[in-house]
Structure 1
């Protein structure tokens, strides 16, 4: 069992402290099963490689990504929430940077990638931070790629889009 919450020594829900949250133009989309054979799933991408036949394959580790109040609820239940004691002695629970990741199942899934895959990466250089188009070669060459959550859109077992999830 692995749970993660970003910690940059900045606490949410405490007056006077800087809180890092999602930029207004970048939102986490829930990873839920759609009807039919479609799925949207948060995952860490462990590997992206091109096979000898030209087919791209992605090795993914599925995760659950929580934000906001739900992140605090899950983290508190799992013992991963931070806590602050107010002047009145009341405990306030929070997660750093407003997100919490759960990775209980380390099963790796090897999925084919569509030749028409759409890749969106966080553009940390833009102001405000936004999204930009990316490529499989760029994704393959990303340093610490497996430390970022991605949203995989999967149709009939084939990845049709890969979107990097913004985390502070």
Structure 2
């Protein structure tokens, strides 16, 4: 219980920092371009089995800007707000998971992750390329920042993930 509370407080502090500094970094933000092969998910796990990487995900609906406001007002009409807080809205009505093989050459682009182990040194670096095996290690490490809290845009071709882009959350 105490570990969970500490984790929640640390995550809240980190997210507050990034919300309060969103204007400083927000000018460089570009939404991920959706294609027919793109889906947005929460990552449940990344595993390595018999020489191959696999990713298990919980698909979500990700909305930004005007579309986020519309979905928010439709689903949260009694909130007293006139739009989605922070400009995005997530719908996750179905928590069924999917598992995909990861291409060994899958591109992984990160916005924010623990580089040093010091929460004070967390910085946003737009679309920083990270090797797949390094991403798997980073994902498993959640003492400073839990990467499971972020949505990811996956490009899936013929059932294989070829690209993973971490979604920046203001």
Q: TM-score, normalised by structure 1?
A: 0.72
What's the offset of the Cα at 1:63? 0.6
Q: Using the alignment, how far apart are the partners of 1:105 and 1:30 within structure 2?
A: 23
**2:134 corresponds to 1:132:** no
Tell me the residue number matched to 1:36: none
What's the offset of the Cα at 1:147? 1.1
- Greater C-alpha radius of gyration: 1
Tell me the residue number matched to 2:42: 44
Q: Which runs of 5+ in 2 are unaligned?
A: 1-11, 113-121
| Conserved 8 A contact 2:58-2:98 | yes
Higher relative contact order (CA 8 A, sep 6+): 1
**2:57 corresponds to 1:60:** yes
What's the offset of the Cα at 1:160? 0.2
Tell me the residue number matched to 2:161: 159
Tell me the residue number matched to 2:83: 94
Deviations 1:105-162 (A, max 9, x none): 1111010000110000004525xx4221112233223322221010000111100000
What's the offset of the Cα at 1:32? 4.4
Deviations 1:46-94 (A, max 9, x none): 101110x21000001111111111111101111267435xxxxxxxx12
Q: Using the alignment, how far apart are the partners of 1:80 and 1:137 within structure 2?
A: 43
Normalized per residue, the structure richer in strand is 1
Q: Which runs of 5+ in 1 are unaligned?
A: 1-5, 9-17, 34-38, 85-92
| Conserved 8 A contact 1:82-1:95 | no
